[in-house]
Structure 1
Amino acid sequence: MGNIAETVHPQHQEQPENSPESNQKRRIYLLRFRAGQHLWSALSTLDDLKPEDVVMVQSEHGLEPAIIAKGGMYLSPEDERERPANNKIVRQARREEIDKFNNLIENEAEAFAICRKRIEKLGLRMKLIRVERFFNGSNIIFYFTADNRVDFRELVKGLVQEFRTRVEMRQIGVRHETKMIGGIGCCGRELCCSSFMSKFVPVSIKMVKEQELPLNPIKISGVCNRLLCCLTHEFSTYKVLKKGRPKNGKIVDYLGRQCRVKPSNILQEIVKLSPLDAADEIISLPREEWHNIKAFKPEVRGKAETKPGTDKAGAKTKSRSRPEKTRNKAAGSASKSSKPGAKSGPNRPRKGKKTRSAKAKKK
Structure 2
Amino acid sequence: MPLVVPVKFTYASRDLWFDPQDLDILEADYAICSTERGTEIGLVTADPFEVPQDEIGQPLKPVLRVASDIDLQLADDLAIQGDEAMVDFRRLVKELDLEMKPVGVEYLFGGEKAVFYFAAEERVDFRQLVKDLSSTLHIRVDMRQIGVRDETRLVGGYAQCGQELCCTRFGGQFEPVSIRMAKEQDLPLNSSKISGVCGRLMCCLRYEFEAYKDFKSRAPKKKTLIDTPLGKARIQEYDTPREQLVLRLENGKVFKVNLADMTCSEGCKKKAAEQGCNCRPDCVTRDVLERIESPEMRLALMELDRENGVDVGDGLSSADRLAGTSMPKRRRRDAESDARAGQGQGEGRGRGKGRGKAETPEAEGAADGRRRRKRAGSGDATDVAAAGKNASREREVQQPQQQNRG
Relative to structure 1, is the Cα distance of residues 231 and 87 closer, same or farther in structure 2, using a 3 angstrom cutoff?
farther
Counterpart CA distance in 2 for 1:66 and 1:120 is 32
Q: Give the structure with the larger strand fraction.
A: 1
Provide the C-alpha distance between the structure 2 equivalents of 1:283 and 1:190, rounded to a whole number of angstroms. 32
2:37 is aligned to: 61
- Name stretches of at least 5 consecutive residues in structure 2 with no aligned partner: 270-406
Does the C-alpha gap of structure 1 residues 273 and 61 become closer, same or farther in structure 2, counting only changes over 3 Å?
Answer: same
| Correspondence 1:139 to 2:117 | no
C-alpha separation in 1, matches of 2:254 and 2:107? 67
Pick aligned residue for 1:113 from 87, 101, 104? 87
Q: TM-score, normalised by structure 2?
A: 0.53
Q: Which amino acid aligns with 2:202?
A: L
Say which SS state the counterpart of residue 92 (structure 2) adopts: helix
Pick the aligned partner of 1:190 from 164, 189, 198: 164
Per the alignment, do residues 190 and 46 of structure 1 end up closer, same or farther by CA in structure 2, a change over 3 Å counting? farther
Q: Structure 1 residue 243 and structure 2 residue 217: aligned? A: yes
| 8 A Cα contact 2:13 2:173, kept in partner | no
TM-fit CA distance, 1:239: 1.3
The alignment covers a number of residue pairs equal to 263
- 1:286 aligned residue (251, 254, 259): 259
Letter in 2 for 1:115: F
Structure with the greater relative contact order (CA < 8 A, sep ≥ 6): 1 or 2? 1
| Percentage of matched positions with identical amino acids | 34
1:91 to 65, 80, 91: 65
Change (3 A) 1:213 1:163: same
TM-superposition CA deviations, 1:72-127 (whole Å, max 9, x none): 4574658x979xxx986442125654454334323322322222221222222322
Q: Write the mapping of 1:76-225 to structure 2, written as runs, cut at 5 A.
A: 89-94=63-68, 97-225=71-199
1:254 is matched with 227
* Structure 1 pair 138–265 and aligned structure 2 pair: CA distance change class (3 A): same
Q: Tell me whether 107-116 or 172-181 shows the greater mean CA deviation.
A: 107-116
Query: SS of 1:151's equivalent?
Result: coil
Structure 1 residues 74, 174: closer, same or farther in 2, change over 3 A?
closer
Q: State the AA in 2 paired with 1:179.
A: R
Deviation of 1:48 after TM superposition, in Å, equals: 6.4
5+ residue gaps, structure 1: 1-21, 296-363
1:165 shift after superposition: 4.5
Contact 2:226 2:233 in 1 (8 A): yes
SS at match of 1:124: coil
Alpha-carbon distance in 1 for matches of 2:128, 2:153: 28
Q: Kindly state the Cα deviation for residue 215 of structure 1 after the two structures are TM-superposed.
A: 3.3
Q: How far did residue 216 of structure 1 move?
A: 3.9
CA contact (8 A) 2:239 2:246 kept: no
Cα 1:246–1:159 change in 2 (3 A) is same
Aligned-pair RMSD on alpha carbons? 3.9
TM-score where L is the length of structure 1:
0.59
Question: Is the partner of 2:175 in helix, strand or coil?
Answer: coil
